[in-house]
Amino acid sequence: MINDMNKFIAIVGSNSNKSTNRELLEYMKNHFQNQAEIELVEIKGLPIFKKSADKYVPQAAKDIAIKIENADGVIITTPEYDHSIPAVLSSALAWLSYGIHPLLDKPVMITGASYGSLGSSRAQAQLRQILDSPELKARIMPSSEFLLGHSLQAFDDNGDLKDMAAAKQLDGLFKDFLQFVNISKQLNNANSVNIQKAEQFSWDKD
Protein backbone atom coordinates (compact mmCIF):
# COMPACT_ATOMS: atom_id res chain seq x y z
CA MET A 1 0.00 0.00 0.00
CA ILE A 2 1.28 3.49 -0.90
CA ASN A 3 2.40 5.37 2.20
CA ASP A 4 0.95 8.71 1.10
CA MET A 5 -2.43 7.20 0.19
CA ASN A 6 -5.37 9.15 1.57
CA LYS A 7 -7.20 7.58 4.52
CA PHE A 8 -10.99 7.98 4.56
CA ILE A 9 -13.56 7.13 7.20
CA ALA A 10 -16.81 5.85 5.69
CA ILE A 11 -19.82 6.23 7.99
CA VAL A 12 -22.67 3.76 7.50
CA GLY A 13 -25.71 5.97 8.12
CA SER A 14 -28.03 3.10 9.02
CA ASN A 15 -28.60 0.66 11.86
CA SER A 16 -29.93 -2.05 9.56
CA ASN A 17 -28.02 -5.32 9.54
CA LYS A 18 -28.66 -5.73 5.81
CA SER A 19 -28.24 -2.16 4.62
CA THR A 20 -27.61 -1.53 0.92
CA ASN A 21 -25.85 1.64 2.06
CA ARG A 22 -23.30 -0.57 3.81
CA GLU A 23 -23.02 -2.58 0.58
CA LEU A 24 -22.29 0.64 -1.29
CA LEU A 25 -19.45 1.56 1.08
CA GLU A 26 -18.05 -1.97 0.95
CA TYR A 27 -18.06 -1.72 -2.83
CA MET A 28 -16.21 1.61 -2.64
CA LYS A 29 -13.69 0.21 -0.16
CA ASN A 30 -12.82 -2.66 -2.48
CA HIS A 31 -13.17 -0.86 -5.79
CA PHE A 32 -11.01 2.12 -4.79
CA GLN A 33 -8.46 0.25 -2.68
CA ASN A 34 -5.60 1.31 -4.97
CA GLN A 35 -6.60 4.98 -4.69
CA ALA A 36 -7.40 5.36 -0.98
CA GLU A 37 -7.68 3.43 2.25
CA ILE A 38 -11.32 3.36 3.33
CA GLU A 39 -12.41 2.21 6.79
CA LEU A 40 -16.10 1.53 7.42
CA VAL A 41 -17.47 2.88 10.70
CA GLU A 42 -20.76 1.76 12.22
CA ILE A 43 -22.99 4.08 14.25
CA LYS A 44 -25.70 1.57 15.15
CA GLY A 45 -24.17 0.97 18.59
CA LEU A 46 -24.38 4.61 19.65
CA PRO A 47 -27.07 5.60 22.16
CA ILE A 48 -29.68 8.14 21.10
CA PHE A 49 -28.38 11.66 21.65
CA LYS A 50 -29.30 13.33 24.92
CA LYS A 51 -27.99 16.54 26.44
CA SER A 52 -26.61 16.37 29.98
CA ALA A 53 -25.39 18.85 32.57
CA ASP A 54 -21.80 17.64 32.24
CA LYS A 55 -21.94 17.40 28.42
CA TYR A 56 -21.31 13.67 28.53
CA VAL A 57 -20.24 12.10 25.24
CA PRO A 58 -20.18 8.26 25.04
CA GLN A 59 -16.79 6.67 24.45
CA ALA A 60 -18.01 5.10 21.21
CA ALA A 61 -18.68 8.58 19.81
CA LYS A 62 -15.28 9.79 21.01
CA ASP A 63 -13.64 6.84 19.27
CA ILE A 64 -15.38 7.73 16.00
CA ALA A 65 -14.33 11.36 16.46
CA ILE A 66 -10.68 10.34 16.81
CA LYS A 67 -10.91 8.26 13.62
CA ILE A 68 -12.40 11.25 11.77
CA GLU A 69 -9.75 13.64 13.09
CA ASN A 70 -6.98 11.32 11.92
CA ALA A 71 -8.54 10.80 8.48
CA ASP A 72 -8.01 12.88 5.35
CA GLY A 73 -11.70 12.85 4.57
CA VAL A 74 -15.09 11.33 5.35
CA ILE A 75 -17.65 9.53 3.21
CA ILE A 76 -21.20 9.36 4.57
CA THR A 77 -23.91 7.22 3.06
CA THR A 78 -27.53 7.60 4.02
CA PRO A 79 -30.83 5.88 3.27
CA GLU A 80 -34.01 7.94 3.14
CA TYR A 81 -36.86 7.58 5.61
CA ASP A 82 -39.86 9.92 5.22
CA HIS A 83 -37.82 12.28 3.02
CA SER A 84 -35.11 12.60 5.66
CA ILE A 85 -32.01 10.95 7.11
CA PRO A 86 -32.50 8.16 9.69
CA ALA A 87 -32.75 9.09 13.36
CA VAL A 88 -29.64 7.03 14.09
CA LEU A 89 -27.56 9.19 11.72
CA SER A 90 -29.02 12.43 13.07
CA SER A 91 -28.21 11.27 16.60
CA ALA A 92 -24.65 10.30 15.65
CA LEU A 93 -24.01 13.71 14.10
CA ALA A 94 -25.35 15.35 17.25
CA TRP A 95 -22.84 13.40 19.37
CA LEU A 96 -20.09 14.40 16.93
CA SER A 97 -20.83 18.09 17.50
CA TYR A 98 -21.55 18.09 21.24
CA GLY A 99 -18.44 19.70 22.69
CA ILE A 100 -16.27 17.93 20.11
CA HIS A 101 -15.74 19.04 16.51
CA PRO A 102 -14.03 16.33 14.43
CA LEU A 103 -15.90 17.22 11.23
CA LEU A 104 -14.98 20.91 11.27
CA ASP A 105 -13.34 21.77 7.91
CA LYS A 106 -13.10 18.04 7.17
CA PRO A 107 -13.73 17.14 3.50
CA VAL A 108 -16.95 15.10 3.18
CA MET A 109 -18.43 13.16 0.27
CA ILE A 110 -22.14 12.35 0.48
CA THR A 111 -23.55 9.16 -1.00
CA GLY A 112 -26.74 7.20 -0.53
CA ALA A 113 -28.82 4.25 -1.63
CA SER A 114 -32.54 3.61 -1.49
CA TYR A 115 -35.00 0.98 -2.67
CA GLY A 116 -36.88 3.52 -4.79
CA SER A 117 -35.82 5.41 -7.91
CA LEU A 118 -34.61 8.65 -6.31
CA GLY A 119 -31.61 7.21 -4.44
CA SER A 120 -32.12 9.09 -1.14
CA SER A 121 -31.95 12.49 -2.88
CA ARG A 122 -34.01 14.36 -0.25
CA ALA A 123 -32.10 12.75 2.62
CA GLN A 124 -28.81 13.71 1.01
CA ALA A 125 -29.98 17.31 0.63
CA GLN A 126 -30.93 17.36 4.32
CA LEU A 127 -27.59 15.79 5.29
CA ARG A 128 -25.75 18.50 3.37
CA GLN A 129 -27.67 21.15 5.30
CA ILE A 130 -26.90 19.50 8.65
CA LEU A 131 -23.20 19.15 7.87
CA ASP A 132 -23.06 22.86 7.06
CA SER A 133 -24.45 23.82 10.47
CA PRO A 134 -22.32 25.95 12.86
CA GLU A 135 -21.76 23.01 15.22
CA LEU A 136 -20.42 20.71 12.50
CA LYS A 137 -19.13 22.99 9.72
CA ALA A 138 -17.84 20.18 7.53
CA ARG A 139 -16.42 20.98 4.10
CA ILE A 140 -18.85 19.20 1.76
CA MET A 141 -17.82 18.52 -1.82
CA PRO A 142 -20.25 20.61 -3.95
CA SER A 143 -22.69 19.08 -6.44
CA SER A 144 -21.37 15.61 -5.77
CA GLU A 145 -24.16 13.42 -4.44
CA PHE A 146 -24.16 9.82 -5.67
CA LEU A 147 -27.77 8.65 -5.84
CA LEU A 148 -28.12 4.86 -6.05
CA GLY A 149 -31.73 3.94 -6.72
CA HIS A 150 -33.32 0.47 -6.73
CA SER A 151 -30.49 -0.58 -4.44
CA LEU A 152 -31.85 -4.06 -3.70
CA GLN A 153 -31.07 -5.00 -7.30
CA ALA A 154 -27.95 -2.82 -7.66
CA PHE A 155 -25.22 -5.31 -6.71
CA ASP A 156 -24.20 -8.66 -8.15
CA ASP A 157 -23.12 -11.72 -6.13
CA ASN A 158 -19.57 -10.32 -5.90
CA GLY A 159 -20.79 -7.04 -4.43
CA ASP A 160 -20.07 -5.06 -7.60
CA LEU A 161 -22.42 -2.51 -9.13
CA LYS A 162 -24.38 -3.98 -12.03
CA ASP A 163 -25.11 -0.64 -13.68
CA MET A 164 -21.95 0.34 -15.57
CA ALA A 165 -23.14 3.94 -15.98
CA ALA A 166 -23.60 4.26 -12.21
CA ALA A 167 -20.18 2.69 -11.61
CA LYS A 168 -18.57 5.10 -14.07
CA GLN A 169 -20.29 8.06 -12.41
CA LEU A 170 -19.04 6.95 -8.99
CA ASP A 171 -15.53 6.54 -10.40
CA GLY A 172 -15.61 10.14 -11.59
CA LEU A 173 -17.04 11.48 -8.34
CA PHE A 174 -14.42 9.64 -6.31
CA LYS A 175 -11.61 11.08 -8.43
CA ASP A 176 -13.14 14.51 -7.86
CA PHE A 177 -13.23 13.82 -4.13
CA LEU A 178 -9.54 12.91 -4.12
CA GLN A 179 -8.78 16.24 -5.75
CA PHE A 180 -11.18 18.04 -3.40
CA VAL A 181 -9.38 16.53 -0.38
CA ASN A 182 -5.98 17.61 -1.66
CA ILE A 183 -7.22 21.14 -2.37
CA SER A 184 -8.88 21.30 1.06
CA LYS A 185 -5.52 20.70 2.73
CA GLN A 186 -4.54 24.16 1.48
CA LEU A 187 -7.77 25.87 2.56
CA ASN A 188 -7.43 26.02 6.34
CA ASN A 189 -6.64 29.70 6.83
CA ALA A 190 -9.85 30.21 8.82
CA ASN A 191 -9.60 26.92 10.70
CA SER A 192 -8.60 28.42 14.06
CA VAL A 193 -11.46 30.93 13.91
CA ASN A 194 -13.92 28.22 12.87
CA ILE A 195 -12.84 26.09 15.83
CA GLN A 196 -13.30 29.04 18.20
CA LYS A 197 -16.79 29.77 16.88
CA ALA A 198 -17.79 26.11 17.14
CA GLU A 199 -16.56 25.94 20.72
CA GLN A 200 -18.53 29.08 21.60
CA PHE A 201 -21.76 27.61 20.26
CA SER A 202 -24.16 26.84 23.10
CA TRP A 203 -26.42 23.81 23.08
CA ASP A 204 -28.32 25.32 26.02
CA LYS A 205 -29.98 28.00 23.90
CA ASP A 206 -32.62 25.98 22.11
Task: Quote the pLDDT of residue 193.
Answer: 64
Higher pLDDT, 193 or 49: 49
Higher pLDDT, 115 or 91: 91
Q: Does domain 12-185 fall into CATH 3.30.390.10?
A: no
Q: Which amino acid is at 205?
A: K
pTM of the model: 0.89
User: What confidence category does residue 143 fall into, taking pLDDT thresholds of 50, 70 and 90?
Assistant: confident
